[in-house]
Structure 1
Amino acid sequence: MSLGNTPTEDRPSVGHALSQARIAAGLTVDQVSTATRVRVPIVQSIEQDDFSRCGGDVYARGHIRNLARTVGLDPEPLIAQYAAEHGTEIAPAPVAPLYSSERIRSEPRRPNWTAAMVAAIVAVIGFVGYTAFTGGDDGNGAKADPAPPTPSSSTTPTSTPGTQAPSADPTGSAIAAAPPGKVTVKLSAEGGVSWVQATDHNGKRLFQGSLRKGDSQTFTDDKKLKLVVGNAGAVQLFVNGKDLGAAGSDGQVVRLTYTPGDPTQG
């Protein structure tokens, strides 16, 4: 006998929803396992709605949250659906106990006589110094002429002929000054979660994993960079200092190759 609500055609099961989103993002089970550090057998069992390998409801909810974020889904509805279908409840966070005012009441502060004496001595010395400087209380003593004004430190220095102050980089781009003779690619996840893999001209893997919204990665090579981008519409692409816009459309998996010079696909 199953617990909770039975999935319908309008609302697929938690495992089926994760499996569909993974396939739509162009990811394999091995790639999702690498990105989330959830073992392959557990990922496969969850996609089949078998949560017995998770080790309990707490771990099951954690795995669902990680898998959902990796494939571009909102994890909260899936966690709520899991709780409803399996008769579990999400435990609220514990509230810290309140302490009585008697336990946190501080002791009355004692007068600091040392500080008071030091303040009195400083006041006396200041008064004596002021009296000696002004020539006494009768106002008839000669007073020292005020010191001549000194040039202000804020005066703008005169520019030397033939010199020019350095100006800021007008582009404001972190990759505007791309190294000459090399290919530089920056990926910025601005529209959501995307799975990315980058390799150099030797086939060496430079990066493989998920970019969450707001994350970015930059890669450089002497000859060639190859990219695989899932959910390409969420990724902004910058190649050799130029903004090429979105890497593709939402949900699309694209494979791109770039070389030094003008940022056209190789």
Structure 2
Amino acid sequence: MSIGNSPEDDQPSIEDDRPSIGRLLHQARIESGLTADEVSATTRVRVPIVHAIEQDDFARSGGDVYARGHIRMIARAVGLDPDPLVAQYDAEHGGRPAPTPAAPLFEAERIRADPRRPNWTAAMVAAIVAVVGFVGFTLFSGDDKAGSGQVAQAPAAEKSTPAKAPAKPADPKPDPSDSAIAAVPKDKVTVKLSVLDDKSWISAKSHNGKMLFDGTLAKGESKTFQDDERIDLILGNAGAIELYVNGKKVEDRFDTGQVERLSYTKGDPQAG
């Protein structure tokens, strides 16, 4: 009779035998013949952060959102599929927060009338209708003599009408916009992202740090975000993205595979 560990104790742990994220990235970089400097130049991730991630130190990334973005960009640079590595990171670090949809908020704000702008066109039309109604009333009310007396006054009323109209001409009707994004409210910052080619990882936060979106958009997909003060963005593969800020297209040229950190406010488009 021998005393030893139970069969369960002798079984290896599947999780312990799985290579770490940093080890997989390091091995893939070596096998690809790339240096840390070359990976940094391709991904725009600083060399110290590349080395730290290869040692499974994600503290230098500045948070889970940045760590996921760095893992994705480095994995693509060394020829690995980033999705399993990000899933492994989420499993080891408590998962990621559920994204908050922003499009319904934008739709609600877009159709809301601006209460501070007076409607001069409606006011002018109401004034003209009142004058015409008064003239008509004086023409067709009372007896014949009274009616004839009122008719004599009608030209004076009609003459006064053109004098009032030029005082405040009706506002010209705006030309219809080619894009609904042109009607964004001026008291907020509105950002619209569209992926034109390949796919892109995107993170968006409000001015108070609330996560608006954290995920990957495929070709043809788009997202719209809105906040009272500021929108903070991290764009992976920024060259694949078309960006509109406050109804205007951002003309900055981003490279394919480039990671961009951007902030926009009500006074933009221009990077904060």
TM over 0.5: no
TM-score (normalizing by structure 2): 0.40
Higher helix share: 2
Structure 1 or 2, whichever has the larger Rg, is 1
